[in-house]
Amino acid sequence: MRTFRFIWGEMQLIWKYGIVLLYIVFTLLYLFVLELLPQSAKSIAAIILVFTDPAAMGLFFMGAILLLEKGQRVHWALAVTPIKANEYILAKIVPLLCVALVAGAIISIAGNVANFSGCMLGIGIGSLLFSMASLWIATKTNSVNSFLIAVIPVEIGITLPALLSLFNVLHSDWWLIHPGVAAIRLMSTKSSGEWICLFSLLVWCAFFFLCCLRAVKRYFATMGGGKE
């Protein structure tokens, strides 16, 4: 119950931070862009849009939220409540996942994507991966500049191979080990490869979750003044 209450509190926070409103505007903007495109390009454009924005939103927004909250020292207070590191991670990633899924679903429907369920899975797991990668980096950085320096190579490293795979530049199945490629293949195809993509993404999720867990525990131990 405590975890649900914490997630609900974090949802209210992202509303207060204006992220929900921002994504209402972005979604309307993307719908307008899709409307301008020819029918044949809509599906692939929708996949690119949802992969590079709603799914990847956590990469920048998670870091921004964490850095803002670091400045307000709220993590000091959270570190001495009954919440555990795993609950903290869940409470941080689930609200952004919800926004990504709703915005992604609307854009996917408007783009008439062929594999809606695969697309939603790709958006969902992609959002979790991007958010956890960002959370991991943000616990280790103290300024917007150092966060951006660390996060931009991660974004390029995930999205570039994914986009190259979407346009068949990378077609070896070995690329399914790559989280970005696995996510975009899951979103764009309806084949037996779905299960491999899903397995690859779940392994990556578990890896990022464990990294975040370790990072958050260490980060919380530095709270409260004294020597850090």
Partner 1 sequence: MIDIQKLTFSYTKQPFIEDMSFSVGDGEIFGFLGPSGAGKSTIQKILIGMLPRYGGSVTVNGTEARNAGSAFYEQIGVDFEYPTLYEKLTARQNLRFFSSLYASKKLDIDALLASVGLLKDGDKKVSDYSKGMRSRLGFIKALIHNPILLFLDEPTSGLDPNNARIMKDCILAQKAKGVTVVLTTHNMEDAAELCDKVAFIVDGKVQALDQPHKLIMQRGAARLRYTWMEKNREQSGFCAMEQTAHDEQLQKLIAENRLTSIHSSEPTLGDIFMDVTGRKLQ
Does residue 116 bind partner 1 (CB under 8 A)? no
Structural contact between residues 78 and 88, judged by C-beta atoms closer than 8 angstroms: yes
Structural contact between residues 184 and 122, judged by C-beta atoms closer than 8 angstroms: yes
Structural contact between residues 48 and 30, judged by C-beta atoms closer than 8 angstroms: no
State the DSSP code for 115.
-
Q: Which of 21, 41, 73, 171 binds partner 1 (CB under 8 A)?
A: 73
Nearest residue (CB) to partner 1, 142 versus 191: 142
Distance CA 93, CA 225 (A): 27
Does residue 72 bind partner 1 (CB under 8 A)? yes
Count of residues touching partner 1 (by CB under 8 A): 30
Handedness of CA 179, 184, 185, 186 (dihedral sign): positive
CA angle 94, 220, 66 (to 5 degrees): 45
Residue 33 CB partners (closer than 8 Å, separation 6+): 45, 49
Q: Shortest distance, CB of residue 223 to partner 1, whole angstroms?
A: 7
Does residue 84 bind partner 1 (CB under 8 A)? yes
Q: Shortest distance, CB of residue 43 to partner 1, whole angstroms?
A: 39
Site for partner 1 in 17-36 (CB under 8 A): 17
Q: Which of 21, 41, 77, 144 binds partner 1 (CB under 8 A)?
A: 77
Q: Tell me which residues touch partner 1 (CB under 8 A).
A: 1-2, 5-6, 8-9, 12-13, 16-17, 69, 72-74, 76-84, 220-221, 223-227
